Amino acid sequence: MQKLFRFYPQLGFTLLVCAFLIIPIILSMLAGITDNFFIGWSSGFTARWIVQVWDTYQVTIWRSIAIALACLVVTTVAGVPLAYMLARHNGGNSRLARAIEELLMMPVAVPGLATALALIMAYGQYREFRGSLLFILVGHVLFTLPFMVRPVLAVMQSAQLPVLEEAAASLGAGPLQRFFGIVIPNVFSGILAGALMVVTLSIGEFNITWMLHTPLTMTLPVGLADSYASMRLEVGSAYTLIFFLMIIPLLIAMQWVTHTTRSRVRL
């Protein structure tokens, strides 16, 4: 009896919230393949909106993927050694390391609009740089770097790395050998979690990119905003559908990785 009064209302509420989050997604996916959304599904289904999006915006999709991958490379190459430094500096308990971590979080805490304006005001006069994809890449790296550093740092702090490293050192392994032979394999789950996050965030980044982009460096979310503003609802929906198809596998992979790492090393 008690269960009846407490369980089901709560379940109902949860389902309601879930519906609030999911129904618009389904609606927009359906709208992307509906012939005329104003009339409804009775107008039939079609792939022509998707084809139209593919023709108009294909280049933004490839560009976004390229930036996301470049961003992943930069954040991995810069972020993993940085996390290692932060974890090791002063035996992993230093003010400096904490201050740097805090500073790294700033571009995430501060609205993207402010970061983008700052970049434009500081580097906008270098025409070549301003007009290139590198400019957007810089913005994305600033925004995603903490998402690589933090999971890696967390694994480094929880794993028994110092002990393993000491053992390796006593057997005569040099610093580089230790880094690539011991550290990297042990923090791999953290790198993987960070990498998925970085790619997902970079593909979806809008706040910074919108200010930084030029007509020649339009990315997927910028294209989305563009199509929402100027195209039919069906086109915007079809474009969103493509975006979902790109991002959903990443999200599923992310949930899977956090699930497996959590059961392996207690984060």
Partner 1 sequence: MTLFVAFWLLPMLRLVAVGASGPTGVAAYFAVVTNHHYLMSLISTLLLSAAVTLATLLISALVGLFLQRNRFAGKALLLAMLTFPLAFPGVVVGFMVIMLAGRQGLIGVVSNWLFGDAWVFAYSLGGLFLGYLYFSIPRVILTIMAAAEKLDPALEEAARSLGANPLQVFANVVLPALAPALISSGAICFATSVGAFGTAFTLATNIDVLPMAIYNEFTSYANFAMAAALSIVLGAMTWLVLALARSWSGNAAGAAA
Among 83, 243, 257, 261, binds partner 1 (CB under 8 A): 243
Residue 127: exposure state from Cβ atoms within 10 A (0-12, 13-18, ≥19): exposed
Q: Which of residues 121-160 bind partner 1 (CB under 8 A)?
A: 121-123, 138, 141-142, 145-147, 150
> Rounded to the nearest whole angstrom, what is the least distance from the CB of residue 151 to partner 1 in the complex?
12
The amino acid occupying position 117 is L
Nearer to partner 1, 200 or 217 (CB): 200
Region 39-58 residues binding partner 1, contact defined as CB under 8 A:
none
Is residue 94 part of the contact set for partner 1 (CB under 8 A)? no
Residues binding partner 1: number (CB under 8 A)? 72
CA gap 258, 192 in Å, rounded: 9
Place of tokens 């694994």: 155
Q: How far is the CB of 117 from partner 1 (least distance, A)?
A: 5
Q: Which residues pair with 34 in a beta bridge?
A: 45
Residue 246 in the binding site for partner 1 (CB under 8 A): no
Taking CB under 8 A as the criterion, which residues in 60-79 touch partner 1? Answer: 78
- Residues 231 and 31: their CA atoms lie apart, in Å, by 13
Site string for partner 1, 107-126 (x = CB under 8 A): xxxxxxxxx-xxx-xxx---
Q: Judged by CB under 8 A, does residue 206 bind partner 1?
A: yes
Instruction: Find the distance separating the first CA and the last CA of the chain, reported in whole Å.
Output: 39
Q: Is 22 or 59 the residue whose CB approaches partner 1 more closely?
A: 22
Q: The tokens of 165 are what? A: 């490293």
Spatial distance between the Cα atoms of 22 and 158, rounded to a whole number of angstroms: 36
Binding piece for partner 1, criterion CB under 8 A, among 15-23, 54-62, 171-179, 187-195: 15-23
Contact (Cβ atoms closer than 8 angstroms) between residue 182 and residue 159: no
Which of 224, 231, 238, 257 forms a contact with partner 1 (CB under 8 A)? 224
Dihedral sign for Cα 223, 226, 231, 234, please.
Answer: positive
Q: Which is nearer to partner 1, 117 or 164 (CB)?
A: 117
Residue 122, token pair as written in the block = 């500081």
Give 86 or 187: the residue with its C-beta nearer to partner 1.
86
Give the closest residue to 155 by CA, choosing from 178, 116, 186: 186
